[in-house]
A and B are shown apart, each in its own frame.
Chain A
Amino acid sequence: MRAFGVASGGEILAEFESQEVMMFTDLVQQIIALLVRVKEGEADIDGAVLTRLFPDAYTDDAEASDEFRRFTIDDLIDRKIENAQGVLESFDKAGVRATADGDVALVRLDREFSMYWLGTLTDLRLVLATNLGIGSEAPTVEGTDNEYVQSLYEWFGFTQGSLIEALEEVEGISG
């Protein structure tokens, strides 16, 4: 993947190599599975990931924050799953371009699907960062795993950054 660009008709485009598509869609499916487990109230979910995806709404009142979370979490989960499914759908609808190095997927996004992407890229980065110990206490991955997760985190950051630039270009905002 290089970066998102804007086509002459205002459509936002990016090309992904097939192994990038596999890695990306696999992680998106993992996020969906994680969210479904949270919704079903399964207990074995990393607390740091949970509180980063669903933060405290009251910084000085744990009880009020827990209550707030109880009332809002189902809708938030549904929205996050909808975003993730939108990302998977845009890969399903992607065009294929044959190159000397193999097929690449040509992803086209309108504004609605760009929103899905920004949401899911954020969720992926929040989960990966929490595993790396960014913005929280101790990393849960170490050694070569840590390097791999770090590279994914940076790749998703690059992807999201280029998508925002493309959106700003469409909206006529110079960065």
Chain B
Amino acid sequence: MPQVDELRDLDEQLTLGEPWNTVVWDDPINLMTYVAWVFRSYFGFAQARAEELMMQVHTHGRATVATGTREEMERHVVAMHGYGLLASLSRSER
């Protein structure tokens, strides 16, 4: 029978494997064209995709712009903060 500690380790490993999302939130300050420009230049999205995500941020208040490991999403969030966008990371809902 596994020890509690081992179970906890296993649980952590499984949790680490779960995908995380980078979420960009609507804010009343940044220009819509600027938000689309950031999506295009940082993530390399095509103009249509960048505008679609920007409109999603604008109309729904938020959009998931990337999904992956926690580390990757942390890097994206720092980058978004560097551009002055409101961004956070959270576990993907399944």
Contacts and interface: CB of A to CB of B under 8 A. Distances in A.
B29 A161 contact: no
Main secondary structure of the interface of B (DSSP, over half): mixed
A20 to B, nearest CB: 20
Interface residues of B, number: 21
Q: Is the interface of A mostly helix, strand, loop or mixed?
A: helix
Interface string A58-93: 111000000010001001100110000000000000
Contact of A59 (B81, B83, B90): B90
Contact of A72 (B31, B78, B89): B78
B25 to A, nearest CB: 8
B41 to A, nearest CB: 8
Contact of B88 (A56, A75, A173): A56
B69 interface: no
Contact of A164 (B29, B37, B81, B84): B37
Which of A60, A80, A135 has the most chain B CB atoms inside 10 A of its CB? A135
Interface in B45-94: 47, 74, 77-78, 81-84, 86-90
B84 A167 contact: no
Interface size class of A (residues with CB under 8 A): 20 to 34
B81 A122 contact: no
Given A59-B88, A118-B34, A54 B29 contact: no
B87 A157 contact: no
Contact of B89 (A54, A57, A118, A164): A57
B84 A134 contact: no
Interface string A152-166: 000001001100110
Given A58-B89, A125-B29, A168-B33, 11 more contacts: A55-B88, A57-B87, A57-B88, A58-B88, A59-B88, A59-B90, A126-B84, A129-B29, A135-B27, A161-B31, A175-B33
Q: Which A-B residue pairs are the 8 nearest by beta carbons?
A: A122-B84, A129-B29, A164-B33, A135-B28, A59-B88, A72-B78, A57-B77, A55-B86
